[in-house]
Amino acid sequence: MGARLTQAGRTVVTVFVPLAVPEGHLGGNAEEIRGRIAAVHPRVEAHYELELLPIQRWVADHSGKPRRRTAAGERHWRELLHVTEVALGFPGDSSEGLGDLVRSAPDLRWVQGTAAGMAEQVRRASLSAGERRRIRMTTGSGPHALPLAEFALVGLLAFAKDVDRLNALKARRRWPPRWPMRMLAGQRIIVVGLGTIGREVARLLHAVGCEVEGVQRRATGRVPGVTRLWLLADLSTALSGADGVVLTLPDAPGTAGVVNARALAALPPHAVVVNVGRGTVVDEGALAAALVGGRLRGAALDVTAHEPLPATSMLWQLPQVLLSPHTAALTMHEDEQLLNLFVDNLARYLDGRPLRNLVGFQRSG
């Protein structure tokens, strides 16, 4: 690990927090945050410089509204980057900010990210092979799993209980004859992607009585609550006759457009598609065509291939589509949970133990 020495000869691990500043400052004031990080080990020197950081526009906004720095502030910013060994987040929460951090911090050895999936940001940062070998990156996976699993449950239930039809009837003030609704319990649901989020989805679906099957990119061992495992190469076969599918796949090599017209055609007309992974996984043209043609019951999407979703997208016009502006993962407690994850990982880093949520940089370039 990289390190620097003080004038007294003490080895220092410099930790920099370049995240946007929220109201309450990550669940406490700035001094408390620095204190929590510094308390991990006497060698830790924590920097959380509020006057240099952007301002959060909403809870858990890690990019924030840019703050204009003075010339002196900019010099101080650059000085902090230059001595940083560990970073909680990166400037602007963007690929450009990640690239600037890595190239401005020769002693940088580890970056704790804020998002559950960061492959796309790593690729767009255009890091060299040497830079990827020099640093480790960990994701913010964990705090997002339960909120996204709950959204998946909402999406499946919304169409099982005909919420779109109920809202349309209410808008027209119509009281029609009664009709039977579908039960979620007993449905066969395919969870595509069995990482932290997918496993939480499987847990909740199993708890409400669904028959849960899973699809993985690579074969692993048994997953609690999942009765059968498939490989991603066999996705269309796995989806055949399923009542619903929940997508939790990251944006990674081999996942782009895997839910295409062929895969969607394997689903029956009453099936529901939920995506809480990455929008690039779904062929949105094929999805819209299936919905318009009555070949699917509905779709609940927290993510789309292009965000914000273009005004020209057919998805805006379809009443059987539940759209969320990539907000289902956010909770009022996310910043505090992220800090808890980071403090635990920092202790692991200093002890030489394996880090949680480690990203394989060699697979991300």
Domain ranges of the chain: 4-141+331-363, 145-323
The answer to whether 131 touches 182, Cβ cutoff 8 Å, is no
Task: Report residues of the chain scoring pLDDT below 50.
Answer: 1-2, 5-9, 362-365
What CA–CA distance (Å, rounded) separates 5 from 219?
A: 46
pTM reported for the whole predicted model: 0.87
288 three-state secondary structure = helix
What CA–CA distance (Å, rounded) separates 240 from 299?
A: 17
Annotated active-site residue 103? The verdict is no
CATH assignment, 145-323: 3.40.50.720
Count other C-beta atoms under 10 Å from residue 200's C-beta.
22
Name the active-site residue from 203, 326, 348, 356: 326
Name the active-site residue from 36, 136, 278, 297: 278
Annotated active-site residue 356? The verdict is no
What CA–CA distance (Å, rounded) separates 120 from 183?
A: 37
Terminal Cα distance for the chain, rounded:
22
- From the options 3.40.228.10, 3.40.50.720, 1.10.340.30, 3.30.460.80, give the CATH code of 4-141+331-363: 3.40.50.720
Fold: same for 4-141+331-363 and 145-323: yes
